[in-house]
């Protein structure tokens, strides 16, 4: 077992001779108590009495000796936990709590992160590739700091019969897209940013959620040259998410240099070209 | 519409707002109207919506000249409810 192979499998070499920090596979920051129990047991048996919470909602178990690597891997697998990844791969997918429990959420971010993890985790690409999913435009899961980020957006629909004319939607719309006309709201769909604040705030559910989708940001990263991602697709239907990821990974593989970040690749090749690739991939009839 | 009871939470923030409203509603009977005075911003975005989510009926919401809001809510459980 060589070091490169170890690294691919989520074993990070420590300063201390023959010791590794073991990165675990976590999607959306959720672990069941059974999985947590497994982490506890493995860390207690082979580690040094603590675990490390990573910046990407993951877990690393430090101070695993080289001699115990196979045992650790086997016991984690038996307890329903896979190993994380390093290097040029699709990393663990982050997510906020999303619409499953957050009053602001317009997207089940945990579920989407689970699906993305299932389909794309550890996929090989030239450099590290980080994905995050946020339930709404409050961006708690920081999608703009990721190579590819998704944020829940919706198209609001209005039912006049339920409206009490309070005007709250017009007051709070961050895009000033709602004006009151004869006491009732009128939405300018050109101005609407699909954030869903009107749907969330409406006290009588006169504003309701219509079509749901995601906003897609690309090219974000922190690292040595931090930059927020740019909007690649303003409103992407949920069913097109896998195609958008596939197209982005394909673009990265075709144009990326070893260890280059996705955003740098887009900047070098051109946003226009990347957006063309995305548009082709997510067309409704595709 | 007249209300039986008034609650002023313009100086409170979440989650104190919710606790005060919950206690105020507990002292009312089904179908009674509670008048709530609340501040703009997060409170008015969240309070009326969450009252609806808990089954109460938002009867009216009016912006006051000083930027605060006056909310009338009917306690859940009244007969002839339309939703």
CATH for B28 = 3.30.110.40
CB contact under 8 Å between B52 and A203, yes or no, is yes
Q: Is the pLDDT of residue B2 over 70?
A: no
Give the position of tokens 């179908």: B31
Q: Is A88 within the bounds of a domain?
A: no
Q: Is B80 within the bounds of a domain?
A: no
Closest-CA distance of chain B to residue A168, Å: 8
Helix (H) or strand (E) holding B25: helix B16-26
Both structure tokens of B70: 């006056």
CB contact under 8 Å between A203 and B61, yes or no, is yes
Dmax (CA) of chain A: 76
- B58 interfacial to chain A (CB closer than 8 Å): yes
Helix (H) or strand (E) holding B57: strand B57-63
What was the pLDDT predicted at B77? 86
Average pLDDT, chain A: 94
Q: Is B20 within the bounds of a domain?
A: yes
Both structure tokens of B28: 């009312």
Kindly state the average pLDDT of the residues B39-44. Answer: 89
Q: Is B9 within the bounds of a domain?
A: yes
Domain count, chain A: 3
Q: In this predicted model, what pLDDT tens digit does every residue of A19-56 receive, in sequence order?
A: 999 999 999 999 999 999 999 999 999 999 999 999 99
Nearest to A202 among B49, B60, B63 (CB): B49
What was the pLDDT predicted at A271? 98
Q: Is A276 within the bounds of a domain?
A: yes
Are residues B59 and B33 in contact, defined by beta-carbon separation less than 8 angstroms?
yes
Per-residue pLDDT band for B13 (boundaries 50, 70, 90) equals: confident
Q: Residues A135, A249: one domain?
A: yes
Per-residue pLDDT band for B83 (boundaries 50, 70, 90) equals: very low
Burial environment of residue A139 by CB neighbours within 10 A (0 to 12, 13 to 18, 19 or more) = middle
CB contact under 8 Å between A205 and B63, yes or no, is no
Q: Best of A104, A138, A164, A203 to disrupt the B interface by mutation (most B CBs within 10 Å)?
A: A203
Q: Is B81 within the bounds of a domain?
A: no
CB contact under 8 Å between A166 and B51, yes or no, is no
Q: Is B12 within the bounds of a domain?
A: yes
CB contact under 8 Å between B49 and A200, yes or no, is yes
Both structure tokens of A35: 């999985």
Q: Residues A44, A62: one domain?
A: yes
Both structure tokens of A25: 């596979």
Q: Residues A160, A278: one domain?
A: no
- B59 interfacial to chain A (CB closer than 8 Å): yes
What was the pLDDT predicted at A186? 95
Per-residue pLDDT band for A164 (boundaries 50, 70, 90) equals: very high
Q: Is B11 within the bounds of a domain?
A: yes
Nearest to A164 among B46, B58, B63 (CB): B58
Range of the domain at B29: 5-74
Alpha carbons A182 and A125: distance in angstroms, whole number: 56
Q: How would you write A123-148 as a 3-class SS string?
A: CECCCCECEEEECCCCCCCCHHHCCE
CB contact under 8 Å between A203 and B40, yes or no, is no
Alpha carbons A21 and A47: distance in angstroms, whole number: 9
What DSSP string describes A77-121? Answer: HHTT--B---SSBB-PPEE--GGGT-TT-SS-HHHHHHHHHHHHT
Give the position of tokens 């919710």: B18
Q: Is B63 within the bounds of a domain?
A: yes
Q: In this predicted model, what pLDDT tens digit does every residue of A225-270 receive, in sequence order?
A: 999 999 999 999 999 999 999 999 999 999 999 999 999 999 999 9
Chain B positions in Cβ-Cβ contact with residue A167 (cut-off 8 Å):
63
Q: Is B30 within the bounds of a domain?
A: yes
Chain A positions in Cβ-Cβ contact with residue B63 (cut-off 8 Å):
166-167, 171
Range of the domain at A68: 3-78
Q: Residues A57, A146: one domain?
A: no
Kindly state the average pLDDT of the residues A169-173. Answer: 94
Nearest by Cα to A187 from A206, A161, A215: A206
Burial environment of residue A18 by CB neighbours within 10 A (0 to 12, 13 to 18, 19 or more) = exposed
């Amino acid at each position: 077992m060589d070091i490169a192979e170890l690294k691919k499998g989520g074993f990070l070499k420590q300063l201390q001779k023959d010791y590794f920090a073991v990165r675990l596979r976590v999607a959306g920051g959720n672990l069941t108590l059974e999985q947590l129990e497994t982490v506890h047991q493995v860390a207690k048996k082979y580690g040094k009495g603590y675990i490390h919470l990573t910046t990407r909602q993951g877990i690393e178990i430090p101070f695993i000796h080289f001699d115990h690597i196979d045992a650790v891997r086997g016991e984690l697998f038996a307890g329903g936990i896979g190993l994380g990844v390093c290097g040029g791969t699709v990393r663990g997918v982050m997510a906020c709590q999303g619409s499953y429990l957050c009053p602001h959420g317009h997207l089940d971010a945990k579920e989407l992160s689970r699906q993305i993890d299932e389909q794309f985790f550890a996929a090989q690409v030239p450099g590290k590739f980080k994905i995050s999913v946020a339930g709404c435009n409050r961006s708690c899961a920081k999608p703009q700091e990721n190579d590819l980020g998704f944020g829940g957006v919706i198209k609001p629909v209005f039912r006049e019969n339920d409206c009490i004319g309070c005007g709250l939607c017009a007051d709070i719309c961050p895009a000033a897209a709602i004006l009151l006309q004869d006491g009732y709201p009128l939405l300018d769909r050109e101005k609407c940013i699909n954030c869903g604040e009107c749907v969330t705030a409406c006290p009588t559910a006169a504003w309701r959620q219509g079509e749901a989708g995601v906003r897609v940001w690309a090219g974000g990263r922190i690292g040595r040259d931090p930059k927020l991602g740019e909007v690649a697709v303003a409103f992407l239907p949920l069913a097109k998410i896998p195609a958008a990821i596939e197209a982005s990974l394909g673009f990265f593989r075709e144009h990326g240099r070893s260890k280059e970040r996705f955003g740098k690749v887009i900047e070098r090749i051109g946003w226009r070209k990347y957006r063309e690739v995305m548009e082709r991939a997510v067309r409704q009839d595709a | 519409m007249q209300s039986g009871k008034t609650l002023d939470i313009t100086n409170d923030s979440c989650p104190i707002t919710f606790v005060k409203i919950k206690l105020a509603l507990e002292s009312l009977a089904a179908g009674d109207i509670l008048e709530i005075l609340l501040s703009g911003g997060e409170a008015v975005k969240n309070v009326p919506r969450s009252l609806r989510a808990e089954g109460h009926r938002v009867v009216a919401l009016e912006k006051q000249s000083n930027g605060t809001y006056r909310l009338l809510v009917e306690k859940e459980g009244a007969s002839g409810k339309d939703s």
